[in-house]
Structure 1
Amino acid sequence: MFRFLINTLLVPLLRVLYRPRVEGIENIPATGPVILAGNHLAFSDSPFMTLVAPRPVFFLGKDEYVTGRGIKGRAKAAFFTTVGMIPVDRDGARGGAAALMTGRRVLEDGQIFGIHPEGTRSPDGRLYRGRTGVARLALMTGAVVVPCALIGTERVQPAGKKLPRIHRVTIRFGAPLDFSRYEGMDRDRYVLRAITDEVMSDVMRLSGQEYVDMYATKAKAA
């Protein structure tokens, strides 16, 4: 019941309320595995990608989002799974490997996998150095990478705020990046860094953000 209500009522309502501007939607291939690599400004970034994409988009989320009890917990779980979230326990030593393998399965099924290479939300609105998981996934699966810029999502749900606000956002999709020339080199750290930096360069160009050559987690810790 919750899933039906979300698909038929909530998702169309969100499109009407937020009226997202979408640019470059034609850059998302109609078939085959695709990695949508976007900047990360707010909790709502991944849901907005799924809201406007022409094909279903799957992304990772904390398993606690779908384990709540009661009506509220069930409704929350139905919302996140409906918009494409795959619950994964990302904590601990095995968390990163589990996340990578989950993304790989999605792509090997010919689907779209959404990822935020920064790994965590930007602490100040700037674009931070990307983690190389996006490059490993591209090389392991042969998926093209479509850079994505989310603009204005931090105003929808500022850090620390539980309830979203109504604010128009823009989602820009860049031209697909094909890294098949590096096939078989998914364990070469220099290749992985070069691919990741190329992806982040396109995200920076699309978003207009200032780039910081350090990881967002380090910036938050400082």
Structure 2
Amino acid sequence: MTENQLQNWLVNIGQNIIWISGKLLYQHWFQLKCLGLENIPQDRAYIIAANHVSHLDGPAVIAAQGKHFKNVYSLAAKDYFFNRPFKAWMCQNFFNMICFERKGNFLNSLRSCQKIVEQNKVILFFPEGTRSITGELQRLKLGLGLLVLHLNVPVIPVYIHGTYQALPKGRHFPKRHPIYVSFGLPLDFRHYQTKQNILDTRQIQQQIINDVYIAIAQLHDNLVGKVNYGNLET
């Protein structure tokens, strides 16, 4: 066995351990509940765009959507997740994170994302850019609009509830709290491709993120209402 083969084998074993233990943790400790799984495409690539309040968000979405997390790649901030060599290697190889610069050149990330969608895999993106310190949905960044225009794949809006209570920004250890993940209907933005001769790119990106924001906000209202009134079917 070559060194590369050994490394790939170890990474594969590590990912399987993370996948199984992570699902068990979310299902039994956090009592993970999912809505809208029928909205997830089964035969094509797509972008998941979710609200972001906690480090628990990414694993919660990945555990909820059902596909092995080998098929899900998360866009992660370079300044936070890739600021040290070993940490960067772990994030890239064991957690399928794609490095992107929050305040810099996004083109390298786009190239990586293009290769992923060509393999019919999933990209998880938090378009707020950082965790909300209040738990409320923040303004979305234009990077999502750029990603959508470049990749031309549907967007699945997602709202996550409960991770803020379990592990908000600033807390180091989570507490036990139910987590809910709601998947919305796919958003198809192909009609914006025809507007590129009418509107400038920034205007189109703004319209895209406005549409995604509204979809996530609607999921929030629906999910939180069900949780508060005890009408959530499990």
| Structure-1-length-normalised TM-score | 0.78
Aligned position for 1:103:
113
Aligned position for 1:161:
171
For 1:92 and 1:135, the matched residues in 2 are separated by 15
Equivalent position SS for 2:171: coil
For 1:66 and 1:153, the matched residues in 2 are separated by 28
Aligned position for 2:155:
145
**1:132 and 1:193 in contact (8 A); partners too:** yes
Match of 2:208 among 195, 210, 220: 195
Q: Structure 1 residues 106-115 or 96-105, which shifts more? A: 96-105
For 2:61 and 2:96, the matched residues in 1 are separated by 10
1:39 aligns with 2:58: no
Query: Offset at 1:38?
Result: 0.5
**1:108 and 1:141 in contact (8 A); partners too:** no
CA spacing shift, 1:12–1:65, aligned 2, 3 Å: farther
Structure 2, unpaired ranges of 5+: 1-12, 223-234
Query: Offset at 1:30?
Result: 0.3
Query: Offset at 1:160?
Result: 1.4
For 1:54 and 1:66, the matched residues in 2 are separated by 31
CA spacing shift, 1:90–1:206, aligned 2, 3 Å: same
Aligned position for 1:215:
none
For 1:174 and 1:29, the matched residues in 2 are separated by 11
Equivalent position SS for 2:186: coil
Aligned position for 1:59:
74
**2:75 and 2:100 in contact (8 A); partners too:** no
Aligned position for 1:217:
none
Query: Offset at 1:111?
Result: 1.1
For 1:154 and 1:121, the matched residues in 2 are separated by 9
**Greater gyration radius:** 2
Match of 1:204 among 217, 220, 225: 217
Alignment root-mean-square deviation, CA: 2.7
Superimposed CA distance per residue, residues 151-176 of structure 1 (whole angstroms, 9 cap, x where no aligned partner): 11111212212222221111001110
For 2:102 and 2:216, the matched residues in 1 are separated by 27
CA spacing shift, 1:31–1:121, aligned 2, 3 Å: same
- AA partner of residue 152 (structure 2): G
For 1:93 and 1:10, the matched residues in 2 are separated by 32
CA spacing shift, 1:193–1:51, aligned 2, 3 Å: same
Q: Which has the higher helix share?
A: 2
Question: Matched residues, percent identical?
Answer: 25
**1:104 and 1:137 in contact (8 A); partners too:** no
Equivalent position SS for 1:208: helix
Equivalent position SS for 2:24: helix
1:172 aligns with 2:187: no
Query: Offset at 1:27?
Result: 0.6
CA spacing shift, 1:190–1:12, aligned 2, 3 Å: same
Query: Offset at 1:91?
Result: 6.4
For 2:101 and 2:22, the matched residues in 1 are separated by 28
Aligned position for 2:10:
none
Query: Offset at 1:90?
Result: 2.8
- AA partner of residue 93 (structure 1): G
For 1:16 and 1:65, the matched residues in 2 are separated by 33
**2:127 and 2:140 in contact (8 A); partners too:** yes
| Number of equivalent positions | 200
- AA partner of residue 58 (structure 1): Y
